[in-house]
Amino acid sequence: MQYEIYMKKCIELAKQAEGETSPNPLVGCVILDSNGQEIANGYHARYGENHAERDALLKINKGEGNTLIVNLEPCSHFGKTPPCADFIIEKGIKRVVIGMQDPNPIVSGQGIEKLKSAGIEVITGILENECKKLNEIFIKNMLEKKPFIAIKTATTLDGKIAASNGSSKWITSEKARDEVKRIRKRYDAIMTSSSTIIADNPTMLHRKKIILDRELKTNLESQIYKNGEIYLFNATLDMFEGGINFIKAPVIDNKLDLRFVFKKSYELGIKSILIESGGRLNGSALEFVDKIYHFIAPKITGDNTALSCFDFQKITQISQCINYEFESTKQFGPDILLTYQRK
């Protein structure tokens, strides 16, 4: 039970760096003395900086008799920083408690074996599911070599994102919109479509943005182009100009090939993408989507011509639905956030 309590603290420490560690995972660490009292903690604050274990270990003199708790297996190889497993051994730590193994097939288990070979007691699998949820992006990157894809949408109770004329401000409350900003921070890039830019002229402040504009019909003076790195996928141009990366993509059924877009994005170092767009792109992307953030306002349009959050197919049987499962439910002001994950 004590290890679970401190593993939860590791997870909360790690979350402080959301959006800062990519392509590295989120990691927190707690050190206990021989009496089970916390004497130091740390977390991986930013890519290229000290890993969580090193951050915590640098705050103590010696580790004899101490227990180190960490949500991810300590690394055993040189990267931007030296191996954490070596530093743990050097400090004389007696016991290491780990939430989950490193999902990287090349290194998984090697850190644990190095610790055991040095005579350190290793306990694994503490709150493993929670630790895996924390690093779901990193896990997909390591195991599938693909970006983690999510959708954020905000609708009325009857699933509408805008009136029939495109009017959509504001469906949800300010508290819900503040939560959207926190969600955005977790992802390397935001993706949207030319239709959304033309209809809403959104700013979408973010460090990286992926824009799908097959016919290059958006105005490059639009707000969205005025901040961040821009990757503009289209059907004709392949160049860098005016601070914009124009990337030519194949076209299938008059739409940009999303499989190519996501593959290319991953090759460009984009490990996670949050889609914020209309029903057509949302629907087209569902084949690839790992998670959906669905904000729902207690409002009903009652208008069957209003725009829906997913608009991509006609079905004749309920069995044709794409299935997700609930992950969590939270309330923000009058609105709720339902989070779904792919079944």
The whole-angstrom separation of Cα 20 and Cα 193 is 26
Domain boundaries, the chain: 2-132, 146-342
Domain 146-342 part of CATH 3.40.430.10 = yes
CA distance 328 to 126: 21
Q: What is the pLDDT of residue 79?
A: 65
Per-residue pLDDT reduced to its tens digit, 78-106: 666 778 999 999 999 999 999 999 998 87
Q: pLDDT tens digit string along 284-321?
A: 999 999 999 999 999 998 888 778 888 877 888 888 88
- Asked if residue 65 lies in contact with residue 37, where contact means CB atoms within 8 angstroms, the answer is no
Global pTM value: 0.92
Please tell me the distance from the alpha carbon of residue 340 to that of residue 325, in angstroms, as a whole number: 5
Give the other-Cβ count within 10 Å of 298's Cβ.
11
Specify whether the CB–CB gap between 66 and 39 falls below 8 A. Answer: yes
As a CATH number, domain 2-132 is 3.40.140.10
Alpha-carbon span 182 to 278, nearest angstrom: 21
Instruction: Examine the residue annotation and report whether 53 is marked as an active-site residue of this protein.
Output: yes
Residues of the chain with pLDDT under 70: 1, 78-80, 165-168
Residue 168: per-residue pLDDT: 64
Residue 171: what pLDDT? 86
End-to-end CA gap in the chain: 30
Mean pLDDT score across all residues of the chain: 92
- Residue of 4, 12, 38, 53 marked catalytic: 53
Residue 82: predicted pLDDT = 79
Strand partners, 338: 294, 329
